[in-house]
Amino acid sequence: MNVRPISGTSVDARGRRGRKGLLTLVSGMLVLAVTACGGGASDEGPGKSGGKGSDTARNKQSQAVVAITPKDGAKSVETSGALEVGVSKGKLTQVVVKDTKGTEIPGELSGDGTSWTPSRHLAASTKYTVHVVAKDSEGIEAAEDSSFTTLTPQNTFVGHFTPEDGSTVGVGMPFSLRFTRGITEPKAVEKAIEIKTEPAVEVAGHWFGNDRLDFRPEHYWKAGTKVTVKLDLDGVEGRPGVYGKQSRTVSFTIGRNQVSVVDAEKHTMKVMREGKVIKTIPITAGAPSTATWNGQMVVSEKLKVTRMNGATVGFTDSDGKGEYDIKDVPHAMRLTTSGTFLHGNYWSGGAFGSYNASHGCIGLRDVRGGYDGGTPAAWFFNRSMIGDVVVVKNSRDRTVAPDNGFNGWNMPWDEWKA
């Protein structure tokens, strides 16, 4: 049997085709490897360099280190002296402290730019957020955020004030605060009270004891002046462990200028508007043994009818009863805390304009019940307001004390400010 051999040509051809396909596959794998590892293309897209140093500048950390006290999340933080912001190896460029209402707390940056402190106290029972940005010497920024909550005080105080919000008062009316607790940190309390006037005038405060603070200008207010008082006492530590809880604004207006001058020797009172006498009224002042105070006194209360009993102001007889007890004194206006009034008088007969017969008050002729609007007392009462000034001169008594009523005008300005 003849057997035909397999063609050698056919075997060689198949071998060549196999080697060619293998070379093509290996070449493709090499190209893929080079593309993946060579770094010839940037992730940022065509035309953007991925050269050396581009990521280094972007990711370099600031050397500035921000520190916020109190720590983040702190509770029962003191309202004064606890908040501080600082930076090392850099300078502060932004410090924003806000309460939950979005109100910013003003602050002061140190001269070298490395520390910040609030310029006012914080409110009690309030959450605050702090945002701080600083830059190092290369201008690279560092930022820090924090929050904390201030203490809830166990003991508080308020200031009862006069005049009332929205009122119109005479030119002698100070803004007076009487605190419910004695204050041992007067500077902190006074710093938390801001007074603005229109037109502008310097206003200064003076403490009488540790529970009363009065504000006034050097001279009587100018008629028409608008006064706005901001009481920012919430969180002020007025004495150890006792904090203010007031945060409100009070406004009042100064009315026309009325100053009346009582001459105890001449037994007259000149009523002046804007410096001009509009009426002269006969009066009776304190008798020699119970003379009326001299000095500038401010009307602090008006009563159409009131009762006056000598026992309430130290005038008693041998039985301890009041030397007088008049149940229906008409047209009464208080001038001092100690009990000096300018009032209508229906019981002194011919004393008006002739002699002094009272226990220290200033009397103007009136009728019982005060029903007659034509009497001198009624005329004056109807043309007077809280804050008007009554000046007494030529009396035998000394000058009234500045804290006896709203009578700080009897204290020199330099002493008042001191």
Query: Which are the catalytic amino acids?
Result: 343, 361
Beta bridge mates, 229: 195, 250
Distances (CA, A) of 415 to 175, 281, 408, 418: 18, 34, 11, 5
Q: If DSSP codes are grouped into helix, strand and coil, which group holds residue 112?
A: coil
**Please, which residues have CB within 8 angstroms of residue 284's CB and are 6 or more apart in sequence?**
267, 345, 348, 351, 352, 353, 354, 355, 356, 357, 358, 362, 363
Is-cis flag, bond preceding 163, omega within 30? yes
How far is residue 95's CA from residue 107's CA, in Å, rounded to a whole number? Answer: 8
Task: Could you list the beta-strand ranges (E) of 175-294.
Answer: 175-179, 193-198, 204-208, 212-216, 226-232, 237-239, 242-244, 247-254, 258-263, 268-273, 276-282
Answer for the pair 268, 281: CB distance below 8 angstroms, yes or no: yes
Q: Can you tell me the distance from the alpha carbon of 271 to that of 342, in angstroms, rounded to the nearest whole number? A: 13
The Cα 93–Cα 135 span in angstroms is 7
The radius of gyration computed from the CA coordinates of the chain, to the nearest angstrom, equals 42
Cα distance between residue 405 and residue 264, in whole Å: 20
Contacts with 10 (C-beta within 8 Å, 6 or more apart), sequence order: none
Instruction: Calculate the alpha carbon distances from 313 to 107, 196, 356, 393, 415 in Å.
Output: 51, 38, 19, 22, 29
CB under 8 Å to 9, separation ≥6 — which residues? none
Residue 319 corresponds to which tokens in the numbers above? 């039985």
User: Are 273 and 265 spatial neighbours (Cβ–Cβ below 8 Å)?
Assistant: no
Backbone angles phi, psi at 101, to 5 degrees: -90, -5
Query: Phi, psi (5° rounding) for residue 252?
Result: -150, 165
